Structure 1
């Protein structure tokens, strides 16, 4: 996927939380056996009035968090080049700055900003909207490299903007040995809903697009099992109905409506009884 580009690092936001350790472990598979380094980034936020003792305590906590993450990665026993960096600043702006020099930023959701009923913290929601690279927001309490047989679900809409989501979805399915679901969800006005012919034609057209996506990519990913879905309704409704069978959701950064639903107040509907993670593809 990235063979024609220099190996930018994959960045993991570290904050001392268990969720950040899980993000670091998840990111290992993104770079294992490659020349791409994994950069553990801790943003040290200091009060303007911090005294020397407080400054030292924050630095010690940062160093401990980064070294714990490094130890967790080493314990996995996979060949990875690890870099560690501690910078001073506010978490969200500093993480956004980091997205200029990486192809993927991974964060753990639990420790990323204030918790909310949506299942996504404030920092995660900000990065989804403002990052300059792809962003993976890892949810759940996993503390080891586990085999997960649940699906990866990618939402597409038939536009040229689908390409990043498709590339990431197929790569992640291959990398994690997971089944892949390519789907599109749509809504219509009441008048169109009463017209079976129009709904049938829409389904036929979108199914043809999904079939073409599969035909183009499966020769390059013969090990990936793919199925396609066209669903009437919202993407969020589909996720809510199948949440327990999904490990990762892939959405293109240009699908603003779907992203607002996922990380906004309505997102709790889909994420309440699940721990699926989110990858926003750019």
Structure 2
């Protein structure tokens, strides 16, 4: 089952469109979820809490509208709705135990004007134990490449599997991007190194890393793209012609609200298309 979080924003409507299209490709049902959180009203001295009946009616109207949008876009996808209590980030994270993936908008109604990414999307992408796809309001297209970041870490494996599957479902080219930067000490004049040798070694490492995925998905056309650049810059550049960028999460921290590594965090903020964060 695919879960789409909605709040009435343009980004949420784009997320519903993305989610129902993916549900169609995967032959899975779609669950549309909206969280009703009364905590801001309970703890604010300036705002009176709306009547529970009013909140319930507004929530029902919101999920009904989203379900109608999904049904009009893909007639043969099974669509259900659910209204849950509590903060949106926590409610969506709890959906992960039943979900193939969670799809959310990049910034909801409560975000700061001009912000590229909201706190809910960061929280869910960093903590949900299933793939999380973050969709920008202008990004509904399913055309273009699937881009995946490749490195030598274990976190890369689930991202590769997700990316190959997406490319297979879409009949899209998969671009496997590996970016490398010379260590600081290599800039010392007494150190000699050949960038061509580094690139050749990186090409071999990428080919070895993706070999078993190519074997499992032989119909997927793969472009191995090794660049001398920062990983965020390389993936953001590749996102310009992509329908989806897939990154693994290397977050290690226990106290941060979103357990994301710097690369996945940077790509979420700056990519020009939908981004899937896939944790181990």
**Do these two structures clear the TM 0.5 threshold for a shared fold by scoring above it?**
yes
> Quick one: distance in 2 between partners of 1:235 and 1:106?
24
Q: Return the TM-score normalized by structure 1.
A: 0.81
List per-residue Cα deviations over 1:146-180 (Å, max 9, x = no partner).
552x2221001123322111111111112223221
* Equivalent pair of 1:186/1:233 in contact (CA under 8 Å): yes
> Quick one: distance in 1 between partners of 2:135 and 2:96?
17
Aligned to 1:253: 249
5 Å-filtered alignment, 1:156-175, equals 156-175=150-169
Which runs of 5 or more residues in structure 2 are unaligned?
252-260
Q: Return the TM-score normalized by structure 2.
A: 0.82
Note the C-alpha offset of 1:45.
1.4
5 Å-filtered alignment, 1:1-282, equals 9-32=1-24, 36-46=28-38, 47-48=41-42, 54-111=51-108, 113-115=110-112, 119-141=116-138, 146-148=141-143, 150-193=144-187, 197=193, 199-254=195-250, 256-263=261-268, 267=269, 270-271=270-271, 274=272, 276-282=273-279
> Quick one: distance in 2 between partners of 1:189 and 1:206?
14
> Quick one: distance in 2 between partners of 1:112 and 1:203?
44
> Quick one: distance in 2 between partners of 1:90 and 1:117?
22
Note the C-alpha offset of 1:87.
0.9
List per-residue Cα deviations over 1:109-154 (Å, max 9, x = no partner).
13275247562211111222222221100113356xx552x22210
* Equivalent pair of 1:34/1:80 in contact (CA under 8 Å): no
1:250–1:196 distance in 2 versus 1, CA, 3 Å: farther
Alpha carbon RMSD of aligned pairs, Å? Answer: 2.7
Aligned to 1:4: none
> Quick one: distance in 2 between partners of 1:241 and 1:169?
18
* Equivalent pair of 1:112/1:121 in contact (CA under 8 Å): no
